[in-house]
Chains A and B, each alone.
Chain A
Amino acid sequence: MRHRMFRTALAALAAGAVLGNSAALATSSQKGKAAFMKYGCWQCHGTQGQGSVATSNGKVLAPDPLPYESFSAFVRSTNGAMPPYSEQVLPNDDLADIHAYLSSIPKPNDHTSIPLLSQ
């Protein structure tokens, strides 16, 4: 439990920190990205958690993911279209890393600053 709290704190820190400021944090985000790919999260949510109307019902994971406790509770017990991931399948450490990765993804530019989207 302590370990989990530590991870949660790391993830919370990552949400406000820029990737690379801390070696430990950077490692966590990098491991999180690898875990995000390994456990198939990218399949429905895209490699940057951008989501899709076709696969995640438009749900966007990043930037600004849910707080870790809510995030973890959802992943473990969802009864919707997304299958639940038990700890047996996705260990707590990896889940916390995934949250850290999502928290590290920067906000996108406003669409008006992108010429092709400034319509």
Chain B
Amino acid sequence: MTRKNLGPSVDRRKFLKGVAVAGAAGTVSPQIASATILAGAAPAHLPSSLPPTAQTIAAETGTPQAEVSRIGGVAGSDFMVDVIKTFDIKYLPANCASSYRGIHESLINYGGNKNPEFLTCTHEESAIGMAHGYFKVTGKPLMSLCHGTVGLQHATMGIYNAWCDRVPVIVMGGNDLDAAHRPPGVPTFHSAQDINALVRDFTKWDDTPVSLQHFAQSFVRAYKIAMTPPYGPVMISLDAGLQQEPIHNSGEKLYVPRYTPTSPPQGDTGAVKEAARLLANAQNPVIVVDRAARTEDGVGLLVQLAEALQARVVDMGGRMNFPKTHHLGAPLTAVNNADVIIGMELSDFWGVVNSYVDNGEHGIGINRFKIKPDTKLISISSVELNTKANYQDFQRFQSVDVSMAADAEATLPALIEAVKSAIPNDRKVAIERRGEAAKKARAEGRARTLQLAALAWDASPISTARLVMETWGQIKDLDWSLVSSSGNVSNWPNRLWPIEKYHHWLGGSGGYGVGYGAPASVGAALANRDLGRFSVSIQSDGDLMYAPGVLWTAAKHKIPLLAVMHNNRGYHQELMHVQRLSSFRNRVANLGDDMGPIGTSIMNPDIEYHKFAESMGWWATGPIKDPAELGPAIKEAVAVVKSGQPALVNVWTQPR
């Protein structure tokens, strides 16, 4: 498809021929022999036992007399690097692959391995996860390269998580389209007509450029689409021929299209006014947010809206939307008595106003409506602009009264002004009283939460509350960032830590694809390293075991990160599912030799995470089972991380 108009000078196929001729004098591989025959030369039948010829000896030991340039001009992938360098893409986490060797070589040699800098990854899922975490700290996307088939298959879950979590990643997969000319053997097995099809259901856009100018347009377009809210991953299939062939002079000069960021979509003026009217006149309005804040500014805007209304804010935690120390912060139960609820960038509005109980009734479970029947619902969600028919990351359909297909952060300034204008004078005293009641409710809730954290404080395995607070005790005086909390620690960080800044909490995977925590932590820690911040993660055992090689990547590239393990020695979610089903069916769960139903435990033998972290260049200690030993261990690890190294503390914990 793309191998056309080959110029008369040395091309990629002739390059292969040259290799074949040189190689034939030494050892003869089947591929090289084939290439030689295809090129029309007489097959050489040289037994391997013959001594090297004088020509071979000269070729291998002599000084070349003339500059070798088999490429026959400027490599096409050099131009690709020129295109990429017009964007401020600082890093390129990737697992190397032959199908993108052309651009790989251009990036590290022609491009000087800067903007982007290649980061060696041991798994494509790790590479995408790193890009995912990096974006949530910096707001800047990274790109990743992968083999178009098997590499992309490895990368898919990471791409799916990024899609669900509204995170832009520019993925490029190497592929060799020209079946008549691509090397036989593995390169042909690993080529496909349409590699992008694999991820089309959970990327915003994809393309297969067939010329260098097409690549320039595709890359700029891909970046622009990925970076327009709702953000999302994009995919470019990168033909191996296009990378490796020289730039052909067809009379048209190659250029890089100018990039202008797209302004995010704002809510319709009329809908914003109607939403403001409902909120301003409500007796008990509640704001529910998930990925409403895309930046620190978004947090500030939400505070303004909440304070203008003295409305309580339920933060579902997709991002750090609202300061946890603010008196208007509230648990989800706040919706129960609301008369107006505004949901911003919610993945699951249905779940906010309904509850589902998995009690096995009729094999399904029961649903309950948990708000008052006349409660008005307002939705602002950019995801309505970006849905797919097959894969879906929305939940059950929820009817609302005002629906805006718009970006929440971009709409907030207009909404705040509209709300301030719409508040009747006779409502102002009531609004002030609402704020006082919220302060009282928050103080009481805080005391209850702290007392709950005291339960099982001295237990072994160590309670998740203690795990979280012993960690907090050692980092609280630093400019910290909780880059990931994988597994489930009963949401203690959000309940107990003074999470106030956008980088204090980065949210979860988005798609609940387990294995996100470790690579996203490393990617976010990389971003924080450059910003001078301290990164800490709560790292679960099951999550780490999907692709633990990312630990090596962190050590290799000197990325400081404190990973405190929530090692409950099981896939706990699934463990409970099988237990629940056993009880529904009136059977005793078969535990085998483990503590959980067969197939759900990670024990016997217990994994010594600290040892394998050590083997990959980390400072590590554990397993910590005595809660009294936890604080000192974390303190030691913090000192290591401050010196620039990653450190892991393996802690045996309670299940949740």
Interface window among B233-241, B247-255, B278-286, B582-590: B582-590
Assess whether B457 is in contact with A43, with CB atoms less than 8 Å apart.
Answer: no
Q: How many B residues have CB within 8 A of the partner chain? A: 45
Assess whether A47 is in contact with B453, with CB atoms less than 8 Å apart.
Answer: no
Interface window among A7-15, A50-58, A95-103: A50-58
Q: How far is the CA of A114 from the CA of B628 in the complex (A)?
A: 13
The contact of B456 among A39, A58, A108, A114, by CB within 8 Å, is A108
Q: How many A residues have CB within 8 A of the partner chain? A: 35
Given contacts A52-B464, A55-B576, A108-B457, 6 further A-B contacts (CB under 8 A): A40-B589, A42-B595, A50-B455, A83-B359, A109-B454, A117-B454
- Let me know if A26 is at the binding interface, CB within 8 A: no
Contact A50 to B463, CB < 8 A, known contacts A111-B454, A117-B450: yes
- Let me know if A85 is at the binding interface, CB within 8 A: yes
Interface hits, A47-76 → B, CB 8 Å: 47-48, 50-55, 58, 60
- Let me know if B529 is at the binding interface, CB within 8 A: no
Assess whether A89 is in contact with B488, with CB atoms less than 8 Å apart.
Answer: no
The contact of B488 among A54, A84, A110, by CB within 8 Å, is A54
Q: How far is the CA of A114 from the CA of B488 in the complex (A)?
A: 23
Contact A43 to B576, CB < 8 A, known contacts A80-B357, A108-B456, A110-B451: yes
Max chain B Cβ within 10 angstroms of own Cβ: one of A53, A83, A89, A109? A83
| B451 to chain A: closest residue by CB | A111
- Let me know if B297 is at the binding interface, CB within 8 A: no
Q: How far is the CA of A39 from the CA of B590 in the complex (A)?
A: 10
Assess whether B655 is in contact with A48, with CB atoms less than 8 Å apart.
Answer: no
- Let me know if A24 is at the binding interface, CB within 8 A: no
Q: How far is the CA of A114 from the CA of B451 in the complex (A)?
A: 10
Q: How far is the CA of A52 from the CA of B359 in the complex (A)?
A: 18
CB neighbours (8 Å) of B587 from chain A are 89
Assess whether B579 is in contact with A89, with CB atoms less than 8 Å apart.
Answer: no
- Let me know if A37 is at the binding interface, CB within 8 A: yes
Contact A117 to B586, CB < 8 A, known contacts A40-B596, A50-B455: no
Assess whether B490 is in contact with A47, with CB atoms less than 8 Å apart.
Answer: no
Assess whether B454 is in contact with A114, with CB atoms less than 8 Å apart.
Answer: yes
CB neighbours (8 Å) of B358 from chain A are 81
Assess whether B583 is in contact with A84, with CB atoms less than 8 Å apart.
Answer: yes
CB neighbours (8 Å) of A22 from chain B are none
Per-residue contact bits, chain B 409-448, to A (CB 8 Å; 1 contact, 0 not): 0000000000000000000000000000000000000010
Distance in angstroms from B79 CB to nearest chain A CB is: 51
Assess whether B461 is in contact with A47, with CB atoms less than 8 Å apart.
Answer: yes
CB neighbours (8 Å) of A80 from chain B are 357, 359
Assess whether A47 is in contact with B576, with CB atoms less than 8 Å apart.
Answer: no
Distance in angstroms from B594 CB to nearest chain A CB is: 11
Interface hits, B485-499 → A, CB 8 Å: 488, 490-491, 495
CB neighbours (8 Å) of A21 from chain B are none
CB neighbours (8 Å) of A52 from chain B are 464, 490, 655-656
Assess whether A53 is in contact with B451, with CB atoms less than 8 Å apart.
Answer: no
Interface window among B193-201, B387-395, B469-477, B501-509: B469-477
Interface hits, B312-345 → A, CB 8 Å: none
- Let me know if B46 is at the binding interface, CB within 8 A: no
CB neighbours (8 Å) of B530 from chain A are none
Distance in angstroms from A63 CB to nearest chain B CB is: 8
CB neighbours (8 Å) of A39 from chain B are 588
CB neighbours (8 Å) of A1 from chain B are none
Q: How far is the CA of A65 from the CA of B242 in the complex (A)?
A: 71
CB neighbours (8 Å) of B491 from chain A are 53-54
Per-residue contact bits, chain B 593-618, to A (CB 8 Å; 1 contact, 0 not): 00111000000000000000000000
- Let me know if B654 is at the binding interface, CB within 8 A: yes
The contact of B469 among A37, A83, A84, A116, by CB within 8 Å, is A116
Q: How far is the CA of A88 from the CA of B591 in the complex (A)?
A: 17
- Let me know if B452 is at the binding interface, CB within 8 A: yes
- Let me know if B405 is at the binding interface, CB within 8 A: no
Max chain B Cβ within 10 angstroms of own Cβ: one of A86, A89, A117? A117
Assess whether B456 is in contact with A50, with CB atoms less than 8 Å apart.
Answer: yes
| A81 to chain B: closest residue by CB | B357
Contact A46 to B586, CB < 8 A, known contacts A114-B457, A117-B453: no
- Let me know if A44 is at the binding interface, CB within 8 A: yes
Distance in angstroms from B331 CB to nearest chain A CB is: 9
CB neighbours (8 Å) of A55 from chain B are 490, 576, 655-656
Assess whether A116 is in contact with B655, with CB atoms less than 8 Å apart.
Answer: no
Distance in angstroms from B1 CB to nearest chain A CB is: 51
CB neighbours (8 Å) of A79 from chain B are 359, 361
CB neighbours (8 Å) of B654 from chain A are 46-47, 50
In the A-B complex, the 3 residue pairs with the closest CB atoms: A83-B583, A50-B455, A50-B456
- Let me know if B459 is at the binding interface, CB within 8 A: yes
Q: How far is the CA of A53 from the CA of B448 in the complex (A)?
A: 13
CB neighbours (8 Å) of B655 from chain A are 42-44, 46, 52, 55
| A46 to chain B: closest residue by CB | B654
CB neighbours (8 Å) of B459 from chain A are 46-48, 50
Distance in angstroms from B24 CB to nearest chain A CB is: 65
Assess whether A116 is in contact with B470, with CB atoms less than 8 Å apart.
Answer: yes
22 contacts between A and B (CB under 8 A): A44-B655, A46-B459, A47-B456, A47-B461, A47-B654, A48-B456, A50-B455, A50-B456, A50-B459, A51-B455, A52-B656, A53-B491, A54-B490, A54-B656, A55-B576, A80-B357, A81-B357, A83-B359, A83-B579, A88-B586, A89-B587, A89-B588
CB neighbours (8 Å) of B450 from chain A are 111, 117, 119
